[in-house]
Amino acid sequence: MAKQSYVGRKVVVVDGTRTPFLKSGTGYRDLMAYQLGAVAISGLLKKTSLDAAQVERVIMGTVVHNIVTSNVARECALTGGIPFTTPAHTVSQACISANQAIAQGADLIRLGHADVVVVGGTDCVSDIPIGFPKKMRTKLFASQKIRSTGEWLKFVLSLRPSDFKPEVPQIAEYSTGRTMGQDCELMGTRFGVTREEQDEFAARSHQLAAKAAGEGILANEITPAEFPPSFKAIKEDNTYRADTTVEKLAKLRPAFDKKNGTITAGNASFLTDGAAVVLLMSEEKAKALGYDTSVQIRDYVFTGQDPNEELLLGPAYATYKLLQRQNLTLKDLDVIEFHEAFASQIVTNLKALNSDQFAKEKMGLSAKVGEINMDKFNIHGGSLSLGHPFGATGARLVTTAINRLKRENGKLALLAACAAGAHGHGMILEKV
């Protein structure tokens, strides 16, 4: 594997924030994704006391696309207080959409095309678009040319009850037809992941999130959300369960493989609404404006795997690649934050990182990465407990990581996430 380096201008991660994450169908059920993104952006501007006119680009990730706000980044920016003269564009790469937005923003700065960029993501699954079957869409499109009463009558008579069956977007791979949960079951089986391991990790995530919330750590990352007509501030996540135990999780039935499965509603992430954003600057600009320049992006990678066998193994692949090309080991890392799609997915990736066989056969390396120190890993909870707004999670990971580096006086942070399509992302942040 060729050694690479992250060249160009230094990119500073100034700060980040997010809306409270809420279970879909609850507090944000009457809202749209752009409204959540706007709250996050306006909150970031307020938190950093940044003049919005300084922002040169806004990039937002999203997964659940609404045709009404096709470029949701633009609507987020305009509603969030960014001047209309600032361009904005939307990116989509499943669960690493925000990660892609951050990477693109960093590259704009690195290559000298911008100095101040707002990046992140937003999703409101409560407002998921529901369409008609292809046959019905074809008929409706053709109906636009109807001019006579006879033609209208013919059109109406051509309609069948099946034409009105709604099409709800599925969290499934188009290429395989399997859901993420089904693929995760298969992947976990190959790596020998047990139900007990999954429930233990899920309980850990919820308990750590509840502890972080109680200590005020999560509040430092959250911008309260207020919306008409009540304007009652939503200040906290409604996602984690402080009373979660392994014993309670063990009573839940499998969700995907009803007979032999190990993944349940309790050890899988759930549908979530929310938005998160991060402020990136060139080191020179950040210094000129008086911002903290201590946390910088050192490197990042995106990976692609076999969707038939390795759908959610992106974090392992990304970690191997990043550590190798940066000549680092796990011992060099002070903070580790992984996206938790499923407890099985996390345990599988941890096993892959600690597998000589995986290192040799999949990465072409002579030695494994090793066993991750769990005292450094997702110590304030993760997506299993905090929730996973598809397009926003990557920005939450970055915000959590930079805060941890500063609070724990660490030097290096590793972030990693999996995504549909068998993609992965990894990023190293450095506190200089």
Is 1's pLDDT higher than 50? no
Residue 193: predicted pLDDT: 97
Which of 67, 90, 64, 66 minimizes the C-alpha distance to 77? 90
User: Is the pLDDT score of 10 beyond 70?
Assistant: yes
How many Å apart are CA 283 and CA 291, to the nearest integer?
Answer: 9
Give the pLDDT band (50/70/90) at residue 231.
confident
Residue 121 in this model has a pLDDT that exceeds 80: yes
Mean pLDDT along residues 145-166? 89
Share of the chain above pLDDT 90, in %: 86
Peptide bond just before 229 cis, omega within 30 deg: yes
Per-residue pLDDT, averaged over 202-229, amounts to: 96
- At residue 6, the pLDDT reads 66
Percent of the chain scoring above 70 in pLDDT: 98
Give a yes or no: residue 329 inside a domain.
Answer: yes
pLDDT of residue 177: 87
pLDDT digit string (tens) for 331-353? 999 999 999 999 999 999 999 99
Domain CATH code at residue 323: 3.40.47.10
Q: What confidence category does residue 282 fall into, taking pLDDT thresholds of 50, 70 and 90? A: very high
What pLDDT, in 10s, does the model give residues 301-330?
Answer: 999 999 999 999 999 999 999 999 999 999
The answer to whether residue 323 sits within a structural domain is yes
Give domain status of residue 360, yes or no.
yes
- Contacts of 409 by beta carbon, 8 Å cutoff, 6+ apart: none
> pLDDT tens digits, residue range 14-30?
999 999 999 999 999 99
Provide the number of structural domains found in the chain. 1
Within a domain: 11: no
Positions marked active-site: 95, 418
Domain region containing 332: 180-215+298-427
Question: In sequence order, which residues have a C-beta less than 8 Å from that of residue 363 and are 6 or more positions away?
Answer: 1, 317, 320, 321
Q: Does the structure show a pLDDT above 90 at 175?
A: no
State pLDDT tens for residues 182-191.
999 999 999 9
Q: Is residue 417 situated within a structural domain?
A: yes
Q: Residue 279, Cα to own-chain centre: how many angstroms?
A: 16
On whether residue 393 sits in a domain, the answer given is yes
Give dist(CA 9, CA 53) in Å, integer.
22
| 353-405 per-position pLDDT tens digit | 999 999 999 999 999 999 999 999 999 999 999 999 999 999 999 999 999 99
Q: What confidence score (pLDDT) does residue 272 get?
A: 98
Q: Are residues 372 and 414 in contact, defined by beta-carbon separation less than 8 angstroms?
A: no
pTM over 0.85: yes
